[in-house]
Homo-oligomer: A and B are copies of this chain.
Amino acid sequence: VVTRDVPRGAIVQGNPARIAGYVDTLQSLVERSSANVSGNSSVRELRARGARILQLPKVVDLRGSLSFAEIGKHLPFEPKRFFLVYDVPSREVRGEHAHLELHELLVCIRGSLSVMVDDGNVKDEVQLTSPAEALLVPPQLWRVHYKYSPDAIMLSLCSHVYDANDYIRDYEEFLSVVRR
């Protein structure tokens, strides 16, 4: 990060002119549109129990693209933690585990990656390719991440802070939990 002091009253550098013809900012446009997201967001249930693909609202105009999600519309929980995965050098498998309680929302912000979700009976493989789509992984689903493209960046929003006791890292133990 680079910071610098800005003298009081200074003009902001970098050309502060707005793009002609746009009174509002990109964000204001999208925020207005968020009052009516039903037309451009959707939910698709996967076969694995509780897993869902969320198409997030996306607004594209001359000023760029923006996708968003909020509680009560696209986000089924209040995130307590987020993490970003990037600079993944290989397409190997990672992220093999399940959670007892934690819900996770995954967004592939750049590039692509695949996730397999498995409820102990049914598996789905999902390739995430857009910052305007998200995979909701509820608790007690085994998940595997793989096939990260070299430029892939993954955002995870989690319903709980880290708790080692919430993890199931052994697949046989996972099966015994979900079959109880």
Contact = CB atoms under 8 A, between A and B. Distances in A.
Interface of A: 1-8, 10, 12-19, 25-28, 30-32, 34-35, 46-47, 53, 55, 60, 62-72, 75, 78-97, 107, 109-110, 114, 116, 118, 121-131, 133, 135, 144, 146-148, 153, 155, 157-158, 161-162, 164, 167, 169
Task: Please state the number of chain copies in the assembly.
Answer: 2
B78 A79 contact: yes
A89 B61 CA distance: 10
A64 B88 contact: yes
B87 A60 contact: yes
B14 A114 contact: yes
Nearest to A167: B28
B110 A1 contact: no
Nearest to A152: B64
B63 A88 contact: yes
Nearest to A128: B1
Given A19-B92, A92-B17, A93-B12, A65 B85 contact: yes
A90 B146 CA distance: 34
Nearest to A83: B68
A65 to B, nearest CB: 4
A14 B115 CA distance: 11
A120 to B, nearest CB: 10
A134 to B, nearest CB: 9
